[in-house]
Structures are given as structure tokens and as C-alpha cells.
Amino acid sequence: MTTFIGFSTIDRAKKFTLTDSELVQRDFLNALNIRQGEVPGRPDYGTRIWDFVFDSQTPDLLDKINNEIQRVAAQDPRIIVSSVNFFPALNGIQIEVAVQIVPSSTVELLSIFFDQDNLSARRV
């Protein structure tokens, strides 16, 4: 039985319908692609990670990024974050987020690359 139904045209050719885990992951990635404060009427939606991409990757910065991932995920009641790992990458930051999609008990690993060249977050 399908719990969540939505649609997306991103990286899709003909079938635009997304369901369940696929939809929740797309919504989470969309939130990570939007700078906080850019959505009219929703000043808390989006992320400040883009402010950190150009900074040196220090333990303090990694704590800020971890807190930001947790904050963005907390805005979506369908997501529970189990763990967050960071990896320095050429021209950006690679983040692996282990998430549980409610009501499932399965944990999925999302590998997201924040690319500072074209300012986009994408799954890898």
C-alpha cells in the first residue's frame, strides 16, 4: 500500500509520479537545495549549508553542518536521521545521511554531494 504520493520532473523523462521513500528523499533533497529564507512566507525552510561550503572543514564547521542536517530533517515528520558522516570532496562536501522513512523501519543511506561550482546538492 502506498503511503505518500507526489510528483517530480527532476531527472525524470516520462513518469513523474513518486511514491513513499522516493518522494520523501526527493523532498529532503529539495530542502537541501534551497537556501534558508528563500521561500516566501517560510523563513525557516531550506538550509544554511550553502554558507558553509566555501569554509575550511574544521571540527566546528562539521558540527554546524551536522546540526543543519538535523534541523532540516526535523522539519519533515517522515524522516528520522540515524547518522551523518562528512567527507571532503573536490569542489564541495560529500555528506552521507542514514535516514529512516516513517512508518518503515528500514534505514537508507543517502549520499549527497554539495557542489560549490554549480551550487546544487545531488545524490551520488
Q: What pLDDT score does 1 carry?
A: 43
The domain containing residue 113 runs over which residues? Answer: 5-123
Mean pLDDT, range 80-89, rounded to an integer? 88
Residue 72 backbone dihedrals phi, psi, to 5 degrees:
-65, -45
Residue closest to 101 by CA, chosen among 121, 70, 120, 79: 79
Is the model more confident about 81 or about 13?
A: 81
Is the per-residue pLDDT at 28 higher than 50? yes
For position 89, which CATH number holds?
3.10.450.40
In this prediction, residue 51 has a pLDDT band, given cuts at 50, 70 and 90, of confident
pLDDT digits (tens, 9 = 90+) for 68-84: 999 999 998 989 999 99
In this prediction, residue 17 has a pLDDT band, given cuts at 50, 70 and 90, of low
Cβ(115)–Cβ(106) below 8 Å: no
Percent of the chain with pLDDT over 70: 84
Q: What pLDDT score does 86 carry?
A: 86
Length of the chain: 124
What domain count does the chain have? 1
Q: What pLDDT score does 50 carry?
A: 85
